[in-house]
Amino acid sequence: MITVKDMLDQKGHSAWTIGPDAKVLEALELMAKKGLGALVVVDKGDEVIGILSERDYARKIILMGRHSEDTPIKDIMTKEVYGVHYETTADECMALMTDKHIRHLPVCKDGKLAGVISIGDVVKAVIGQQKVTIENLENYIMGKYQ
């Protein structure tokens, strides 16, 4: 069973973060530059206090009469953050994402932020796992019946 640690070993253990008082525009620039769909929001003590996703931007800026250059991240971030651990499986991540309608899960290790898993990471891992299972089954069938 593929775990969060396996997925991080594949994609990298870095977690891109931003402070709650930075402006939304700064977050958008960082997300565009690094190719990220979300940033974890941390306070001065590196405590996770929220997450800012493309969806927060899409739904809470123009539609609510705000402007990204003067709106602080804390005004639009999602404050309810669901995290996972190294041992959490890809299936458990997928279930949590589906249940909570979220696409990014911060990873917690020893009380500290240790990476981010996205829905794309989970899909890639699950598809890879299924491919191996199919190949093994094909080899088994070929070996048995030829």
Ligand X SMILES: NC(=O)c1ccc[n+]([C@@H]2O[C@H](COP(=O)([O-])OP(=O)(O)OC[C@H]3O[C@@H](n4cnc5c(N)ncnc54)[C@H](O)[C@@H]3O)[C@@H](O)[C@H]2O)c1
Which residues contact ligand X by CB under 6 A?
11, 14-16, 36-40, 103-104, 116-121, 124
**Paired residues of 53 in beta bridges:** 38
State the nearest-atom distance from the C-beta of 116 to ligand X, in Å.
4
Supply 145's token pair: 């019946």
Pick between residue 24 and residue 104 the one whose CB is nearest to ligand X: 104
Q: How far is the CB of 146 from ligand X (least distance, A)?
A: 35
Query: What number of other Cβ atoms are within 10 A of residue 64's Cβ?
Result: 10
CB of 41 to ligand X, least distance (A): 10
39/61 with CB nearer ligand X: 39
Q: How far is the CB of 59 from ligand X (least distance, A)?
A: 16
Residue closer to ligand X by CB (options 12, 139) is 12
CA distance linking residue 58 with residue 11, whole number of Å: 26
Give the nearer residue to ligand X in terms of CB position, either 61 or 116: 116
Burial class of residue 84, CB neighbours in 10 A (0-12, 13-18, 19+): buried
CB 105 within 8 A of CB 116: yes
Tokens at 39, concatenated: 């940033």
